[in-house]
Amino acid sequence: MLGERLDSWLRGHESLVDVVTALLLSACCVLFGLFVRADAAYFLVSLLLPLPLALRRRKPAVCAALVLGIAGVQWLTVRDTDGALLADLAVPVAVHAAAAHGPRWAGRAGLAAGLFGAVLGGLSWPLLPSSTTAHVLVGAFLASTVVAAWATGALWRVRRAERDQRARLAVLAERTRIAREMHDILAHSLAVVIAQADGGRYAAGSSPEAGRAALATIGDCGRQALGELRRVLGVLRDSPETVEPQPGLDDLPGLVDRVRAGGLDVHLAFETPPGPVEPGFSLAAYRIVQEGLTNVLKHAGTGARAEVSVRWPAGRLEIDVLDDGRARIAGSGGGHGLGGMRERASAYHGTVTLEPRPGGGHVLSARLPVPA
């Protein structure tokens, strides 16, 4: 927990962290210079080299250009007196920043400049009379440091891009899920409301009681839809623990009763699940039945009958929604409703089909393996 808080704080104060890092490196260089009683050139270079690191994430290309430029001036002016300095640690840090935070050209340019500097350092250091092998080893060490800094920066860039891509995909998936839920809720509720409103309008003149019953059904359906919408939109709040449970298989009898009150003759054959059912799986099954009945309400025509069958054979859930309507159900070849059902089923490695029945009507069939 403490590590997560520290990481979150560091991510929220990156500019401050960069400034403090640059100042700390400069302070260490100055203290070391005081300890060895270095000359003025040492202190000047030791102050100038780390300071651009304060810009390493805000302006990485500028930071790399300044650090590598100052390192070049160091090699031209004081290489034969002070040699390599503690402040030269700023070079791999700047190369890393260019590769991780800057444009790709800046990372490549930083790598090239750093390798060129490693060659110059290998030519000049060590200052004492040494063999060619010693100069080669120094140059190879400096070059490997630059390459390692560039590689870790490039790897950080790739991982950040992957993390951002995952975040975008997660947002898109959540938007799709919420849109699918709202479609299922609104399409079903509006189908019932429209059916009741049409029936109540025709019946109001001859049977006021039927008109009042239709209005009561409309009110109940509207309240039910409002409650479900609140549950769906509750996931967007900051306190998801307050969100009420979503409907599931146990709510199918109530769903059928509401559809029946909306004027559709529905028969439900419901087998009790053989064991506990995962909430997401239960919600998917509920929405499939709901969308199937909505299609019947909207498209099967007046006087249609529907049958809903929920069975649990051999470790899978089988759902069938049949009707005997004469009209062709819009969406039997596609559409948001059928597409949403298929998405829900595919999340559990299941399938959904909508086919015409011999003699009229349609059958919606869903087959979902029960999650282990």
Gap between the Cα atoms of 9 and 133, Å rounded: 47
CB 247 within 8 A of CB 230: no
Per the DSSP assignment, residues forming a β-bridge with 362 are 356
Q: What is the predicted pLDDT for the residue at 329?
A: 53
* Neighbouring C-beta atoms of residue 244, cutoff 10 Å: 10
Spacing of C-alpha 91 from chain mean position:
36
The pLDDT value recorded for residue 168 is 80
Nearest to 191 by CA among 55, 330, 75: 330
Q: What is the predicted pLDDT for the residue at 218?
A: 74
Distance CA 258, CA 294 (A): 11
Listed in sequence order, the residues at least 6 apart from 329 whose beta carbon sits closer than 8 Å to its beta carbon are 295, 296, 299, 300, 354, 362
Q: How far is CA 84 from CA 40, 87, 255, 286, in A?
A: 15, 8, 79, 72
Vertex 75: Cα angle to 69 and 80 (nearest 5): 160
Residue 265: Cβ within 10 Å count: 13
User: Phi and psi of 356, rounded to 5°?
Assistant: -70, 150
Q: DSSP class of residue 270? A: E
User: Beta strands 305-311 and 316-323: pairing type?
Assistant: antiparallel
Q: What is the DSSP letter of 282?
A: H
pLDDT at 279: 85
User: Which residues are CB-neighbours of 216 under 8 A, at least 6 positions away?
Assistant: none
Q: Pick from 138, 137, 114, 113: which is nearest to 125 by CA?
A: 138
CA 147 to chain centre: 33
Question: If we measure between CA atoms, which residue out of 98, 90, 88, 89 comes closest to residue 156?
Answer: 98
pLDDT value, residue 365: 92
Tell whether omega for the bond before 208 is within 30 degrees of 0, i.e. cis.
no
| Inter-residue contact 328 to 301 (CB < 8 Å) | no
What is the Cβ-side half-sphere exposure of residue 349, based on CA atoms within 13 angstroms? Answer: 5
Q: How do the pLDDT tens digits run along the chain, 372 residues long?
A: 566 676 677 677 788 888 888 888 888 888 888 887 878 888 888 888 898 999 988 899 999 999 999 988 888 887 767 677 888 889 999 999 999 998 999 999 999 999 998 888 888 877 767 788 888 898 899 899 999 999 999 999 998 888 888 878 777 776 777 777 777 777 767 777 777 677 666 666 676 776 677 777 777 777 767 766 776 666 565 444 444 567 889 989 988 888 887 778 899 999 988 888 888 889 889 989 988 888 887 777 667 889 999 999 988 999 999 988 765 554 444 456 777 788 888 888 899 998 888 878 889 999 999 886
